[in-house]
Amino acid sequence: MPRAKKPPANSAPATQATPAKRLVGRAATRPYPQQPFDEALELAIAIQKEAGSNPIRRLTLFDQMKRAPESNQSRQLVISAGRYGLIKGGVQSEQLQLTPEGDLATSNDVSPRERARARIKLAIVAVEVFNALFEKFSGQKLPSLALLEDAAGDLGVLDQFKKECVEIFVVNLRFVGLLQTLSGAERILTVDHALDQMPGPVGAPYTGVAAARIDQPLVVHSDAQFDRVCFFIGPIGEAESEQRKHSDLVLESLVRPAMEPFGFDVRRADEIQNPGLINKQVFEYLLKSRLAIADLSYHNPNVFYELAIRHARNLPVIQIIRKADRIPFDINQSRTIIIDTSDLFSFVPKIETYRSEISNHIRRAIEDPSSADNPLIVLFPESFGTA
């Protein structure tokens, strides 16, 4: 009886074929960079400033950026910049260098249109899953985050990464000018539509060289209550005052919805119900809460005092400020989410985008507490045991 022929070693049954539109397999992890494009761009801008299109030693670069070169945050910055195609070289490389596209995306010697096109290509088009989402929804109103997450899942993004993927995608769209408010709604523009608005710069980059982020493990307190608490620092004001209405709006419309998926209890000072001295309780929340969000709007002195306490203990804090206020000089190098509350027509269409930005910062603060910029730790590391 003749033997049946064996199929070639590299063949697979037809029933195992992967659907053509599915971009990543279930064995994959994150099919996208873990940081938003503007943060990775910061590294490329520093290379452009120090070396132009030439190679630069990695240790020299981080010394100029005043960053700890071996910290988790610095390593992740290199990884993300590489995944976006901004740089050549990795975390173990002696030298880093801009790619040709990275050079275009950071150069002041090219036209704003050419620079914007390079950024759009790197931040969206060159990232396969982002490009697929962009092609699906380009020219439309920004869909709900739930719909975007479903679309990411259809592309093969694992369930635990879908929300993060969509948040970074939305933040990148906004930064490169592909997400803009038109006719009272946020819309995802086509590339040509966005570039037609040149020669003005699109998504002005974070040009300052951010402070170093020194690694420090998250302290998990024995009191489990504080391990799941986010303390909201904000200008509370008197009942019915403009500041109180602003604080309620930000807390209920942005912060609590953004925090909900993480299972944290958000507390504001006026919501502390325990008996005792209010100041002592506020200090306890400032010193023990795993995370804090500080709304710097109205330049309230109590807010800055409480922010300084978090800085002095090197605890993670996320900064928010309304567009009408200027970020004070002492903390203007720290990343701050700017929200436009000038009127309903400016605020309402961007609610989902603001929530995405806040959620992205929350996730990173939880995963890496040292990711928040802290000028005290940068300038005086020896005083906080991080030198």
Q: Per residue in 229-256, pLDDT tens?
A: 999 999 988 878 999 999 999 999 999 9
How confident is the model at residue 331, as a pLDDT?
Answer: 83
Percent of the chain predicted with pLDDT > 70 = 79
Q: pLDDT class for 340, splitting at 50, 70, 90?
A: very high
Residue 82: what residue type? Answer: G
How confident is the model at residue 372, as a pLDDT?
Answer: 56
166-201 burial, b at 16+ Cβ within 10 Å, e below that, comes to: bbbbbbbbbbbbbbbbeeeebbbbebebbbeebeee
Contact 116, 195 (CB under 8 A): yes
Q: Which of 54-58, 278-282, 305-309 has the weakest average pLDDT?
A: 278-282
* Cis upstream peptide for 19 (omega within 30°): no
Where helices occur in the chain by DSSP H, the ranges are 37-51, 58-64, 72-83, 100-106, 112-120, 128-137, 145-154, 159-175, 191-195, 224-227, 242-250, 256-259, 278-288, 301-312, 344-347, 351-367, 375-379
Q: pLDDT at residue 319 above 50?
A: yes
Alpha-carbon distance 228 to 297, whole Å?
25
How confident is the model at residue 263, as a pLDDT?
Answer: 85
Q: pLDDT at residue 116 above 90?
A: yes
- Taking residues 182-187, report their average pLDDT: 76
Q: pLDDT class for 98, splitting at 50, 70, 90?
A: very high
How confident is the model at residue 202, as a pLDDT?
Answer: 39
Q: Per residue in 24-33, pLDDT tens?
A: 443 358 999 9
Q: Which residue has the higher pLDDT, 288 or 271?
A: 288
Percent of the chain predicted with pLDDT > 90 = 53
Supply 304's token pair. Answer: 């800055």
CA distances from 361 to 46, 164, 262, 268, 355 (A): 22, 10, 12, 19, 10
Q: Per residue in 213-225, pLDDT tens?
A: 222 333 333 343 7
